């Protein structure tokens, strides 16, 4: 399994603009944990600095199939996979650096993901978001997820 991590992805102004956008668009979506946006967030002007930065981290041509934001106050997301070539998670606000967990050889392996970082991994990797650490205060965790397909013939 190969997970790429990138730090300091956006400047403070860009982060603030995206946080305002996300807070306006968050809603309760049936059968989804916490609050989420609809999966067309990548079409919003405020998200373009993040979309443009993806080109620094993903080689070749690609298409964003879906993009949505998640907000949890320490809740979890069950184990799952994505039907795309790549998954990207950008951690907009993540005070305790609680990242994505991966299942590798039957073991749960955490990734540390500080605020303003992103991880890139193959969409078929089984992963989840763990609950907050026991005893921690309420944790506002904002992340933005992307389902990405690479152009055929482009190395993944």
What does the pLDDT average to over 53-82? 89
Q: What is the CA radius of gyration of the chain?
A: 15
Q: Which two tokens stand for residue 26?
A: 């968050």
The reported pTM is 0.91
Q: Report helix, strand or coil for 97.
A: coil
Please indicate whether residue 93 or residue 139 has the higher confidence score (pLDDT): 93
What is the mean pLDDT of the segment spanning 52-72?
Answer: 94
Question: What are the domain boundaries of the chain?
Answer: 4-150
Given pLDDT bands bounded at 50, 70 and 90, which one contains residue 43? very high
CB-CB contact of 111 with 5 (8 Å): yes
Question: Predicted confidence band at 137 (pLDDT cuts at 50, 70, 90)?
Answer: low
Distance in angstroms (rounded) separating the CA atoms of residues 112 and 101: 9
CATH superfamily, domain 4-150, is q2cbj1_9rhob like domain (2.60.120.620)
In this model, does residue 121 exceed pLDDT 80? yes
pLDDT in the model for residue 115 = 96
Neighbours of 24 (CB within 10 A): 11
């Amino acid at each position: 399994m190969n997970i790429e991590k990138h730090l300091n992805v956006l400047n403070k102004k860009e982060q603030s603009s995206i946080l305002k956008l996300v807070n306006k668009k968050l809603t309760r979506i049936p059968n989804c944990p916490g609050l989420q946006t609809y999966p067309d967030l990548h079409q919003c002007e405020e998200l373009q600095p993040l979309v443009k930065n993806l080109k620094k981290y993903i080689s070749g041509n690609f298409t964003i199939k879906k993009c949505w934001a998640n907000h949890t106050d320490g809740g979890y997301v069950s184990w799952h996979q994505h039907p795309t070539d790549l998954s990207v998670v950008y951690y907009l606000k993540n005070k305790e650096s609680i990242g994505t967990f991966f299942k590798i050889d039957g073991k749960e392996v955490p990734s540390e993901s500080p605020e303003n970082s992103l991880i890139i991994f193959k969409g078929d990797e089984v992963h989840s978001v763990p609950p907050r650490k026991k005893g921690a205060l309420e944790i506002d965790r904002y992340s933005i997820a992307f389902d990405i397909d690479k152009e055929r013939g482009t190395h993944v």
